[in-house]
Structure formats: C-alpha cells, structure tokens
C-alpha cells in the first residue's frame, strides 16, 4: 500500500466546502472526504509550526514532547511517523519541510550546521525536496523560468499574485513530487508539506482574484473586556487584524485563494495517481499543523487560546475501507491520533509514547469502545519573553508560567494558565467565545477534567513494565 501524508500549513477547519463554507471552493478536498472520512472536529495540539508538527509527527502532546517554540529541539528519544514507516519497510520521502530542530545531544559539536536553523528535517525522512524557510529551491526554479526570485523569500511569496499560478510555491512542490512519483515501481510513503495557505496573504495568479472581497463576511470582533493576554496580543502590530473592513476582507479573499490554489495542486496529484493506476492502492491523509485566526477576535496568525488557531481540516481516504466512504466523524479528533493510525495501517504496534488513539475504528465504520469527550491543545509563549526574564536557577522557573492549556468540550472551553488563573467559556450560550461561565462549581468540574487529562498522559516509557525474573508489561520501543 502507498501512503500519501499531506499537510497544508495554517489551514483552519471551516474553510472547506464539505465543512459548509459558503464561499471557499475546495472540490478536490471535498472529493477526498466523499471517498473517505471527514474529521469535522479535528484539532491541532499546539502552535506555531514546530510545536504543532512535533505533536503531529510523534503522536504526543506538547506537555510530553516539550517542543514549545520554533527552535525548541525535538528530543531524539521520540519515535515518529517517518521512523515508523521505515520499520514497515518504506523509505519515507519528504517534499517540503518538517520544522524540527535537531536534538543538540546527537550533533558533533557546536559547529554542527544543523544548530543554525530551526527548520530541520524530522529523523527518518529522506528529503527528496527540502523546502527550508527561505524557499531557496523554489526561488532558484523561478529564476530558471525567467522570473525575478527576489532576494527575500517573503517578497517572493508576496509577489505570487503577479505571476501565473503555474509558478507558485505549491505548484513547484507538486511538480517535483510528480516527477518522483513517476519513477516509483514499489510501494512508497511520501510526506507532502505545503506552505500554503500560510502567510503572506497573497494567492497565486488568477487565484488572487478568485474571491470578491465584497462577498466576504467580516470576522468575529474582539470582546470589549479581553483577558490580559488577549489585550496584549491586540496591541502587537504584527498580529493585530486590519482595522479597515475592506483591508480585512481583502486579506480573507487572499487566504481563500491560497486554499483553492493548493486544492487545485492536489487535483494534479489525484489525476496522476489515477493515470498511474495506483489510486486504489494509495492511502491519503490530509491535515494541518495549526489553524489561523484570520481576523477573528481581532487577531491574525496562530496564537493564544481561541479555537480558530487550533481547529483544522482532517481527511482520511483509505480505499481498503469502503464501509466508511463519505462518513463524517463528529467526535473530537486530534493530530496526535495520526501517528497511531498510520502505525496500525502499516501493521505496526503503536508506540507507548503515543498520547493519541488510532482512527481505524472510524474507518471500519465502528464505534470505538472508548473515545475522548473533549479536545486538548496548548500554547507556550516563553519564547516571547526569554530575553527579558532573569532565568537564574532556581527562580528562573517562573518562565514555566508562560503557557496555557485548553480543554474544549461540547458546550464549553476551559483555559488554564500557567500562573494559576483560568477562563471558562460558555459555548452553549455563545459559540463566539465571548461569554464566560459564572458558575464556579461548573468551572471546578472542568478544572478537574483538565487535571485528569494531565495525569492520564504523564510520561510512561517504563511505567507499564517491571523488571525481575518475570517481566510484566510492554517492552518499550528501542530497548532490546
């Protein structure tokens, strides 16, 4: 069986045709959902990119893997989807990026070049096309096509509306993958990590004019009484949403255009798989590393506690399971579920480290014997204050307070801050996250549920075995 694992960076959950969006056109993603499973309440576990991807690739929560920022090293002891694929007999290929900083304990010394950048390659992947932050391979390709690649990757990306869509960053990645695909004779595993719809908010070619800003609704405005963290974010120019309504609509139009453009690129891949005769032999998983505020609550990008930064698309198509074709999973699912799902699909034992659950029961059309009743995600902002805090031991532990964890239930969202404060939103009364629950007894129930979640997912590499004449429990992966 072939495995195509796709991430679309910063793709929020509601911007899909199958999710009921009134404007955004995503015919290919809608088709994949119609032939597989649509995870309608799917959540990333952290933001920004590196923390979100660490959870996705290892199946662990941030409180387990401790990747708290772009540049936080991923501990080399963790298993991941690429290493799992290798155990299953594949040579997993990477097209794009994984944003995982190397564990400094495995490098040759301080001069190791991998210590100079955060966007390293996840161990186990063969980087057939590595697209680092500077987008150098794409910019070189642009220059070869006779176009100005610009000296700065942000400028090159911002220029996408001025060039034909066939020359976009997404088109280049697709082109390279299709060239590789045509040379594959055996079963394969590939990870396509697309940048779009990540900012800058500039869609390629004709997709930049696909949506009329006048047709686009304005975002949810911020509350008049924001939490101090929310108020602080609203004062930061880089993440404050445009105040002019037309400018805000234009940003949303470009974001929608980026989504439709990358959807079109996926269409090229579907056509190639069908022409190759491997369409019915290919599992496809599509998700994102995190979401996008897109102006909601007065914010852009991905941060804080609002669910727009964490609710993401989730689609799985497995041709071996026609019984679930066209189904929608309305239970809470999370990106930590992807690794255990892939492991079981490939016939591997799910590693002890995984905090998530396999989604195979849903693919088989079955109800899992037990399942979560809420979603969880975390945000750590210590990287914003590292240069301004005294980190002298032991008082430097105050840095540990710069984080939050969210418990998102059916009709509530409970936010626990590292300093002991909390928020409890009543989503049953107000789904816009503006109304707080005033019942302290109910908030206590949610706080207890959060504590149980934390205790359930404590480190457990050795907790399910005992040494002695009769060994009990599972033998941790990596120990022989």
Which pLDDT does position 470 carry in this prediction?
66
236 within some domain: yes
* Bigger pLDDT: 389 vs 282: 282
394 within some domain: no
Q: Based on the domain organization, do 255 and 279 belong to the same domain?
A: yes
479 within some domain: no
Distance, in Å, from the CA atom of 318 to the CA atom of 203, rounded to the nearest integer, reads 31
Q: Based on the domain organization, do 292 and 192 belong to the same domain?
A: yes
State phi, psi for 466 to the nearest 5 degrees.
-130, 140
Q: Based on the domain organization, do 408 and 312 belong to the same domain?
A: no
**What single string gives the DSSP state of each residue in 25-69?**
--HHHHHHHHTSEEETTEE-SEESHHHHHHHHHHT--HHHH---S
Q: Based on the domain organization, do 361 and 407 belong to the same domain?
A: no
Which pLDDT does position 22 carry in this prediction?
97
Q: Based on the domain organization, do 219 and 318 belong to the same domain?
A: yes
Q: Based on the domain organization, do 350 and 454 belong to the same domain?
A: no
177 within some domain: yes
* Bigger pLDDT: 431 vs 400: 431
Q: Are β-strands 42-43 and 189-194 bridged in parallel, bridged antiparallel, or unpaired?
A: unpaired
Q: Based on the domain organization, do 323 and 460 belong to the same domain?
A: no
Nearest alpha-carbon partner for 250 in 209, 299, 199, 222? 209
Instruction: Output the six-digit token pair for 133.
Output: 């932050």
321 within some domain: yes
Q: Based on the domain organization, do 354 and 383 belong to the same domain?
A: no
Q: Based on the domain organization, do 370 and 257 belong to the same domain?
A: yes
Q: Based on the domain organization, do 317 and 292 belong to the same domain?
A: yes
Q: Using only the alpha carbons of the chain, give its radius of gyration.
A: 22
**Catalytic: 343?**
no
37-50 average pLDDT score: 98
CATH number for the domain harbouring residue 17: 3.40.720.10
Which pLDDT does position 390 carry in this prediction?
78
Dihedral (CA of 341, 175, 51, 424) sign: negative
State phi, psi for 71 to the nearest 5 degrees.
115, -15
176 within some domain: yes
Instruction: Output the six-digit token pair for 304.
Output: 């804080």
Q: Based on the domain organization, do 299 and 409 belong to the same domain?
A: no
Q: How confident is the model at residue 219 (pLDDT cuts 50, 70, 90)?
A: very high
234 within some domain: yes
pLDDT, tens digit (0-9, with 9 covering 90-100), for 291-343: 999 999 999 999 999 999 999 999 999 999 999 999 999 999 999 999 999 99
pLDDT, tens digit (0-9, with 9 covering 90-100), for 400-426: 889 999 999 999 999 999 999 999 999
Q: Which domain holds residue 427?
A: 378-387+400-473
Please report how many Cα atoms fall inside a 13 Å half-sphere around the Cα of residue 57, on the Cβ side. 31
Q: Is the separation of the CB atoms in 315 and 290 below 8 Å?
A: no
pLDDT, tens digit (0-9, with 9 covering 90-100), for 98-127: 999 999 998 888 888 888 888 999 999 999
pLDDT, tens digit (0-9, with 9 covering 90-100), for 343-385: 999 999 999 999 999 999 999 999 999 999 999 999 999 988 7
Instruction: Report the Cα–Cα distance between both ends of the chain, in Å, rounded.
Output: 29
Beta bridge partners of 424: 414
Nearest alpha-carbon partner for 286 in 29, 6, 41? 6
Q: Based on the domain organization, do 269 and 333 belong to the same domain?
A: yes
The pTM assigned to this predicted structure is 0.96
358 within some domain: yes
Distance, in Å, from the CA atom of 360 to the CA atom of 326, rounded to the nearest integer, reads 15
Looking at 15, 49, 343, 354, which residue is catalytic? 49
Which pLDDT does position 479 carry in this prediction?
55
Domains contained in the chain, number? 2
């Amino acid at each position: 069986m072939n495995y195509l694992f796709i991430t679309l960076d910063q793709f929020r959950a509601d911007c899909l045709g199958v999710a009921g969006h009134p404007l955004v056109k995503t015919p290919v993603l809608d088709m994949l959902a119609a032939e597989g499973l649509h995870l309608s309440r799917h959540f990333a576990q952290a933001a920004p990119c590196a923390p979100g991807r660490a959870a996705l690739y290892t199946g662990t929560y941030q409180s387990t893997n401790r990747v708290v920022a772009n540049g936080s090293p991923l501990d080399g002891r963790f298993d991941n989807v690429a290493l799992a694929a290798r155990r299953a007999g594949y040579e997993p290929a990477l097209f794009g990026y994984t944003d995982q900083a190397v564990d400094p304990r495995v490098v040759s010394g301080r001069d190791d070049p991998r210590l100079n950048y955060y966007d390293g390659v996840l161990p186990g992947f063969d980087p057939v096309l590595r697209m680092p932050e500077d987008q150098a391979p794409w910019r070189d390709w642009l220059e070869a096509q006779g176009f100005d690649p610009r000296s700065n990757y942000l400028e090159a990306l911002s220029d996408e509306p001025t060039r034909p869509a066939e020359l976009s960053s997404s088109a280049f990645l697709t082109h390279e993958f299709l060239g590789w695909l045509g040379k594959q004779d055996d079963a394969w595993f590939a990870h396509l990590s697309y940048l779009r719809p990540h900012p800058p908010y500039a869609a390629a070619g004709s997709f930049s004019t696909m949506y009329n800003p006048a047709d686009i609704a304005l975002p949810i405005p911020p509350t008049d009484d924001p939490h101090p963290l929310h108020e602080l974010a609203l004062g930061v120019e880089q993440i404050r949403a445009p105040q002019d309504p037309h400018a805000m609509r234009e940003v949303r139009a470009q974001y929608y255009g980026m989504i439709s453009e990358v959807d079109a690129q996926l269409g090229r891949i579907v056509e190639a798989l069908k022409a190759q005769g491997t369409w019915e032999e290919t599992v496809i998983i599509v998700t994102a590393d995190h979401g996008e505020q897109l102006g909601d609550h007065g914010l852009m990008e991905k941060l804080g506690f609002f669910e727009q930064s964490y609710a993401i698309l989730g689609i799985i198509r497995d041709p071996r399971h026609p019984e679930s074709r066209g189904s929608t999973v309305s239970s809470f699912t999370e990106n930590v579920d992807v690794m255990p799902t892939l492991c079981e699909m490939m016939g591997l034992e799910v590693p002890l480290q995984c905090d998530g659950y396999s989604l195979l029961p849903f693919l088989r059309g079955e109800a899992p014997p037990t399942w979560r009743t809420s979603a969880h995600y975390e945000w750590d902002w210590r990287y914003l204050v590292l240069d301004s805090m005294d980190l002298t031991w032991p008082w430097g532990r105050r840095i540990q307070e710069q984080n939050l964890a969210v418990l998102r239930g059916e009709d509530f969202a409970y936010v626990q801050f590292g300093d002991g404060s909390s928020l409890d939103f009543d989503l049953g009364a107000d789904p816009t996250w503006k109304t707080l629950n005033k019942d302290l007894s109910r908030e206590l129930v949610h706080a207890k549920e959060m504590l149980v979640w934390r205790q359930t997912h404590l480190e457990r590499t050795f907790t399910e075995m005992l040494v002695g004449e009769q060994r009990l429990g599972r033998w941790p992966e990596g120990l022989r």
